[in-house]
Amino acid sequence: MATNTATPSTTGPTTTATTTTTPQLTNAINAVHVKSVDISTSSPVRGYNYKEEGGIDYEELLKSYMTTGFQATSFGQAVDEINRMIKWRLSDEPINPDVDTDDLLDPSVRQNIKCKIFLGYTSNLVSSGVRETIKFLVKNKMVDVIVTTAGGIEEDFIKCLANTYVGDFHIPGPQLRLQGLNRIGNLIIPNDNYCKFEDWVMPILDKMVSEQKTRETPWTPSELIDRLGQEINNEDSIYYWAHKNKIPVFSPAITDGSLGDMIYFHSYQNPGLVLDLVGDIRKINNQAVYAKHTGMIILGGGVIKHHICIANLFRNVADYSVYV
């Protein structure tokens, strides 16, 4: 230990100052006083600037998420990535004589070739009010390929036939079961809704069995979904607009839900319906293989995520991707 004692002054008040230092104390001071590197070129944290007049500028509000921090920044990055998908045109890329056919040398043709956007979502989003947002995207041709689960198909059609209701997360399942009700999170679906779905879908399956014999080829799951979208004839339906706009919808686990129950019962009442999974795997993989640019928007996990990612693996990469 080193101790320094000041010499008393002969002309003023006597003062004594003692400074004690140790290697440990020096290390502590150095640890606390680490000099900052310059990060002034990074974006400062700042939220949306609300103005007194003129209302909210929603475009600026979304832009502000990038500098809001936490998950808002991730959301802002997703917005930017999706905007890049929307804006891309083949005309943005140089001509590749090894790949581009003669028709793709025309600048006007290249300007009209867009990024092919794959949208995947799980059934809970269709059960909820997010369904209306998905319908908007499909109605306005803002996506090109859809992948969803069986529930993501049937819940859309069931909502065209009867309402789903807001309930509570904590209602006991056995209690609801005795009342003929089903709970999805805090949403309530009466059993009667599924009965109405059965009454609607069974005659369509009958027609498809009959037509299958005439066409001499089995249906694919995507063709079944397209046919149901045609038959529902209801503008509230996602798949009405998918049929109308010729947007393919794939559901590799099509039997994993109420629709699978209906197909099971129908196989005894009127046997013969065949769904060809191989036909659909060729279709969705080719959607990616022959695309000039692709983007993936995947809302959820499991089969919808894998199906889209694997399809894009066949072109070695998706050019843009957003996972939620």
Model confidence, pTM: 0.88
Residue 36 CA to residue 98 CA, distance in Å, equals 51
Cα separation values, 308 from 38, 207, 246, 281, 318, Å: 42, 31, 18, 11, 10
C-alpha distance across the termini of the chain, in Å:
59
Residue 44 contacts residue 67 (beta carbons within 8 Å): yes
List for the chain the helix, strand, coil content (%; round to 5): 50, 15, 35
Residue 247 contacts residue 134 (beta carbons within 8 Å): no
Going from the first residue of the chain to its last (324 residues), give the mean pLDDT of each consecutive group of 10, the final group possibly shorter.
50 58 89 92 94 89 95 96 97 91 92 97 98 98 98 98 97 94 96 97 97 92 98 98 98 96 96 96 98 97 97 96 97
What is residue 1's predicted lDDT score, i.e. its pLDDT? 47
Q: Residue 92 is encoded by which pair of tokens?
A: 């943005």
What is residue 42's predicted lDDT score, i.e. its pLDDT? 93
- The one-letter amino acid code at 260 reads G
Scanning the chain, the segments in alpha helix (DSSP H) are 23-32, 58-64, 70-87, 107-111, 123-127, 130-139, 150-161, 173-178, 191-215, 221-232, 238-244, 258-269, 277-289, 303-313
Residue 118, SS3?
strand
